[in-house]
Amino acid sequence: MKKLLLSLFVIVSILTANWVAAAADLEVNTPAIAALKASMQARHGQLSPFYSAGAIGLTKDGMIAVKDATAVPLSQRGSLSGLVSAENADRANLYKEIATANGHAEWQGDIQNTFAGRWIDKAQSGWFYQSGGGWAKK
Amino acid sequence: MKKSLKKSAVMLSIGTAAILTACVTINIYFPAAAAEKAADKIIDEVWQLKQGQQAPESTPADKTSEPKPAETTPAEAKPTDTPAK
């Protein structure tokens, strides 16, 4: 009986240890995530002046949107919407990839919400972000 | 009697283990803290920020302050290309 109890205890502790280890970190080192990061990093060089000019802003759902296209010279306006949709496609894929890489596709929405807050927190001052019904300046 | 007790104890332990496993698999909640950590890491890379820093206003000027081994050889070779007369 004593032995049984002991083995039961061992099983419980192993399960708990696994669970704790799983909760400690999210898997983000997959080729798909690395490719998305690289693509977004390369695009950021082009997006950065648009953030500063107030032409685009960070949305509250972890995406970006055109806020004021007139803040951009006419010649660049064409590329603006293309850049924004490419960035949003990468972001959506990133959230999805992180969720699936961790075996929980249903976490995608939670991951997206987490990112939404962190993008805004880390934004440079002067950049715009969605707050309530409108835009706010950092 | 003793044997049946042992048997029921085995069944109980198997049952408990099964329930615990089920709890672990079904009830795993979204790890918010881990997600924030992962988000920070990725955002830092995408925006090329240093850890826990806002986006810099401008890229820090690369310090090439290392004094070049300036060849301060006195210009003994004078510019000889005199303008053509």
Q: Is residue A17 part of a domain?
A: no
Per-residue pLDDT averaged across A106-114, rounded? 97
Per-residue pLDDT tens over the stretch B21-46: 665 555 579 999 999 999 999 999 99
Residue A41 lies in a domain: yes
Q: What is the ipTM of this complex?
A: 0.84
Q: List the single residue in B20, B37, B55 with the smallest CB-CB distance to A122.
A: B55
If one counts the domains in chain A, the total is 1
Please count the CA atoms within 13 angstroms of the CA of A52 that sit on its side-chain side: 10
Is A105 a domain residue?
A: yes
Q: What are the tens digits of pLDDT across the range A15-34?
A: 555 555 555 789 999 999 99
Nearest CB partner across the interface for B38, out of A22, A41, A98: A98
Share of chain A above pLDDT 90, in %: 78
pLDDT tens column, A47-57: 999 999 999 99
For range A4-11, the mean pLDDT = 62
| Residue A70, token pair as written in the block | 């007139």
Q: Determine the 3-state secondary structure of B4 from DSSP.
A: helix
Residue A63 has pLDDT above 80, yes or no: yes
Beta-strand runs (E) in chain A: 56-58, 64-66, 128-131, 134-137
CA distances A67 to A38, A50, A73, B77, B82, Å, are 25, 10, 14, 63, 63
The pLDDT of residue B20 = 63
Cβ-Cβ contacts under 8 Å, A123 against chain B: 54-55
Tell me if A115 is assigned to some domain: yes
* A109 is a domain residue: yes
Whether residue A6 lies inside any domain: the answer is no
- Convert the pLDDT of each residue in B40-66 to its tens digit: 999 999 999 976 556 555 444 444 444
Q: Say what the pLDDT of residue B28 is.
A: 75
Mutate to test the interface with A, among B7, B47, B51, B53 (most CBs of A within 10 A): B47
